[in-house]
Structure 1
Amino acid sequence: MNRLSYDVVIAGGGFGGLVAAVSLANLGLDVAIVEPRAHTPEHALRGDLIHPRAVGALAALGLEEPLRGAGAAEIHGFAAYSTEGPPILLHYTGQPGIALEHRRIIDRLRATALSKPRIHLYEVRGVDVIRSEGRAVGLLCSDGMTLSSRLLVVADGRHSKLRTALGLSATSTVLSHSVGATVSAELLPHPSYGHVFAGTKGPILAYPLGDGFARVNVDVPMGSPRGRDALPEYLSTHFDAHMPRALLNAAVTAFGTQPLLGAANHAVITEACAVHGAVLLGDAGGASHPFTATGMTSAVNDAITLAAAVAQYGLCDRALVAYQRRRYRFVRVREAFAQGLYDIFRANDPATRALRNGLFRYWRSARGRRASMQLLAGEDSSARTFLTEYAHVVAATSGEAMAEARRDLALGPIVAAFRGLGFAGRTSVAITWERARMDVLGRSLDAIDRTGGSPRAVRAARINGTSDVGAAE
């Protein structure tokens, strides 16, 4: 049996694994990437859009320029279209984001990563974790080779099998399906913006990809037909009054003639992402609905957070505890924000329609647009900010629905948000609409910013023998 030794072994050579490899190699560590696929599966739909915070981090790693050289399009914000009223332009507050076909992103990042002498690629599959005295010390590969490591990074996606091998659990819920096709970017009303369309069912996300093309991703609810014959009718039926006519016609044609890209959308929640000698990274550590394009930004955050913890503490458990704490501080708010925004745009019961109208009313203020985009871009990951902004949206919904619906507006999403942030035990019907309008929720939120996630996540963060998750800080 062949056995090779590295400082770090990364199981998964997708976007997150490649960014992590470069981040750790820049610290002077020898890194092995284990990835069996030379290319992204032909008909798989993967992330194409990267928010500004992550673009800045990629630039610092020398990874932005290769993507721009491949023709990445600049994204300056989003044009949000409601079922009522004119669209709202939501601008990024700093540098632009970028978008590029996922396959081209991976090809460029892989070429850049492998140009570094400390990074090595093995085109095999990681099949099991090697342990010694309760610690992960390497990876068993599908060809029988064993790669030993001081740190194992599991970045093999939301359906990670190695996550289970590490003894870490995840709760996964299928939310919907996404189907994608390409059209001319000239059809986008705002050429350098992403476009969000609320229909009578799931939303549509459209954005430029570079080289004159744009991606149109349709969110198809569970149980709805999504084949080549069904999609054009689905679009015509549910978005006829909500999309510009030329763009809708082009999308109907594309979905009826092009090879379709598809993916199931999952919400994957983990409560711990570190054990002795190993961590989860990217979608292996959790995933949200792609409506807010949060996946690649979160993966970049994981990579730079892990590298920063290793730079501070070295390759030891103290670094892994610090990584876990800092990671969940960022991720928990993004999970709640992604799910909350998706729920607002997909549902069409009276209460949710009223809430969506309230959101658009709030976005007509400069403050509302700025705060929402800072949350979306990951520039503000404060739990206090998230629930304060939600309270503003509820306040803007005042008078649009009956008292019964208004109570649902406040309680349902706020309860869901608290659950996503780990405060299910503190949430009850005592949180009324009037209290939501006031910022009395803030007193409970300091704990989230201190712990970086849910109370259960904090407890789970205690890697054997570590008495307090905060000990590393």
Structure 2
Amino acid sequence: MAAAAISQADRIRERREQHHEAEVVVVGAGVFGCAIAFALANQGRSVILLERWMHEPDRIVGELLQPGGVEALKKLGLEGCLEGIDAVPCHGYHVVYRGDDVAIPYPVVSPEGKVVVGNRTTANGHANGDANGLKKAARPEGRSFHHGRFIMKLREACRAHPNISMFETEATATIKGEHSDAVLGVETRTKNPETGKKEPDCFFGQLTIIADGYASIFRKSLLNKAPLVRSKFYALELIDCPFPPANYGHVVIGPSSLCLLYQIGTHETRALIDVPEKHPDATPANGGVRGYIEKVVLPSLPSQVQPSVRTALSDGKIPRSMPNSWLPPTKQTTHAGVVVLGDAHNMRHPLTGGGMTVAFNDAVLLASLLHPTYVPDLADHAAVRRAMAAFHWRRKSLTSIINVLAQALYDLFAADDWQLRALQRGCFRYFQMGKTDEPVALMGGIMHRPLVLASHFFTVAFVAIWMNIVEVCGGSVLGILKLPLALVQAVLILWKACVVFLPVFWTELM
């Protein structure tokens, strides 16, 4: 029996490596591609994993993994990928607003996964008074790291898996059958080691999973969607930059700027500077992006950070950039034999660092829905279609939260009109009031309750309205005469909150 089993395993491996045939072909060995390949291989599936460039990637995003992503990584059996890469624990967020600041730690979570709010625990928002659970509760941690080191660990795990074969090849198109529109695999170009030239190649699978990232070449033909880009992040790497509190993701909101800082190694801190599209202070006449950073962003940063930023800018080069994209998810039940996932399928502004958390949770969910118990044969397109329909709706309990938070908070933190600035002040005041356990649990992928997000967002709006009324009407005994103006402004602030939140919330829930 053992010899027969080994012989069968060898035959399956030979089908992958010699004939390029498997149950699953995954295009893209990035965060999601590696995760789903590993998850399906753990179920006994035969998997081919394709990547156009197997060298260590050098990206400036995908460097922060929220606690919910760490937990998903453990469920996938990939938690070891966080070891040996100089990963730094992340305990929450630290918001600096025009010189004032507040630390927002991740909430305490009981061993059963219940979020502690004040003196009570909540299981996704429901009260529970388990005193023993509170005694054993602890704060979860995220991790931040060099993106490329983490990706190489994921690829090492996949390469070591007996059910996965990896190939360095560039996917160029899908392959369809002669008598149907079902996708049978992908055409690629593989480098011939003898000639150094790329030659045509093909890989075949019962199911092809496209995970070729934010610049996907397959998205247009398979999803007919394009991401919306409103700004770019320009990146600096700061060396030995002091910025207490340690082990927090720092969000610095200036009068006209937004900057993120988080440690990615023992000595390295990443600075991501948001530059809106066609910003007047970033035009060539004003010194371009470097001029914007030096004149607008730098003065708004804490004094202890400024020397490290100046040193990073001293090379005279324009910092590397990445587009900040929003791409709402698409229900995928149309194309047989293929699905598009990861950043090729769904993106959000990287402000809150939720992208990898979404990816790993998606991999956990999809693998459970495609488990051989429910879908024995991945060539059963109807069964896969049902699994993808369930995937589209079930993922929303987490992804809608992270996606909406990213877009809504970006609008507030990069405020460009007086209503948004009022909401910005209200949001910061809400943090100062200590109303942070549930919001940061939502942001960290710990709590999966979209309606709790809606409740907090509009509570922030009413805090902003009250602060504006006090500001307009305060200061003198005649201030009450300005109440009509304050009420008109209250309506405008509430309307702006609705415009910011509801369209994105509706899009994500559809």
TM-score by length of 2: 0.77
Once the two structures are TM-superposed, the CA of residue 385 in structure 1 deviates from its matched residue by: 1.3
Residues 267-306 of structure 1 mapped to structure 2, 5 A cutoff: 267-274=326-333, 275-306=335-366
Matched residue type, 1:410: L
Partner residue of 2:262? 207
2:127 match: none
Query: CA 1:185 to 1:348, structure 2 compared with 1: closer, same or farther past 3 Å?
Result: farther
Pick the aligned partner of 2:490 from 391, 402, 406.
406
The offset of 1:230, in angstroms, is 4.7
Secondary structure of the equivalent of 2:430? helix
Deviation at 1:359, TM superposition (A): 0.9
**Cα distance in 2, alignment partners of residues 92 and 248 from structure 1:** 31
In structure 2, the residue matched to 1:392 is: 459
Superposition map of 1:65-464 within 5 A: 65-83=80-98, 85-93=100-108, 94-132=139-177, 133-142=180-189, 143-166=199-222, 168-224=223-279, 225=282, 230-231=288-289, 233-239=291-297, 242-257=300-315, 260-274=319-333, 275-311=335-371, 313-314=374-375, 315=378, 316-317=383-384, 318-366=386-434, 368-401=435-468, 402-422=486-506, 453-454=509-510
Please say if residues 332 and 389 of structure 2, whose CA atoms lie closer than 8 Å, have aligned partners that are also in contact.
Answer: no
- SS of residue paired to 2:328: strand
TM-score by length of 1: 0.83
CA distance in 1, matches of 2:313, 2:324: 19
Aligned mates of 1:307, 1:249 — CA distance in 2: 47
How big is each residue's C-alpha offset from its partner over 1:40-78, in whole Å with a ceiling of 9 and x where there is no partner? Answer: 555x42310000111112123332223222110000111
CA contact (8 A) 1:73 1:99 kept: yes
Q: Distance in 2 between matches of 1:394 and 1:26?
A: 46
Aligned counterparts of 1:236 and 1:159: Cα–Cα separation in 2 = 30
Cα shift at 1:229 = 6.6
Provide, for residues 157-189 of structure 1, a one-character-per-residue CA deviation record: whole Å limited to 9, x for no partner: 1232223333x2224211111111111345121
Q: What is the deviation of 1:223?
A: 2.0
In 2, the alpha carbon distance for the partners of 1:415 and 1:229 equals: 34
Q: Secondary structure at the match of 2:100?
A: coil
Instruction: Measure, in 1, the Cα distance between the counterparts of 2:154 and 2:43.
Output: 18
Match in the other structure for 1:59: 74
- AA aligned opposite 2:253: A
| Mapped contact 1:15–1:299 kept (Cα < 8 A) | yes
Question: Aligned partners of 1:3, 1:417: CA distance in 2, in Å?
Answer: 50
Show the counterpart of 2:112: none
Change (3 A) 1:56 1:245: same
User: What is the Cα deviation at residue 258 of structure 1?
Assistant: 7.7
How far apart are the structure 1 equivalents of 2:241 and 2:60? 22
SS in 2 for 1:190: coil
- Alpha-carbon distance between aligned partners in 2 of 1:163 and 1:109, rounded to the nearest angstrom: 24
Change (3 A) 1:236 1:57: same
Q: Do 2:25 and 2:49's aligned partners in 1 also have CA atoms closer than 8 Å?
A: yes
Larger radius of gyration: 2
Pairwise CA RMSD: 2.4
Shift in CA distance, 114/35, structure 1 to aligned 2, threshold 3 Å: same
Q: 1:271 to 1:403 in 2, by over 3 A?
A: farther
Q: Percent identity?
A: 27
Letter in 2 for 1:16: F
Structure 1 match to 2:50:
34
Q: Distance in 1 between matches of 2:50 and 2:338?
A: 15
Post-superposition offset of 1:154: 0.9
Q: CA 1:395 to 1:90, structure 2 compared with 1: closer, same or farther past 3 Å?
A: farther
Local SS of the residue matching 1:218: strand
Unaligned runs of 5+ in 1: 424-451, 455-473
Q: 1:53 to 1:185 in 2, by over 3 A?
A: farther
Structure 2 unaligned residues grouped into runs of 5+? 1-17, 109-138, 190-198, 469-485
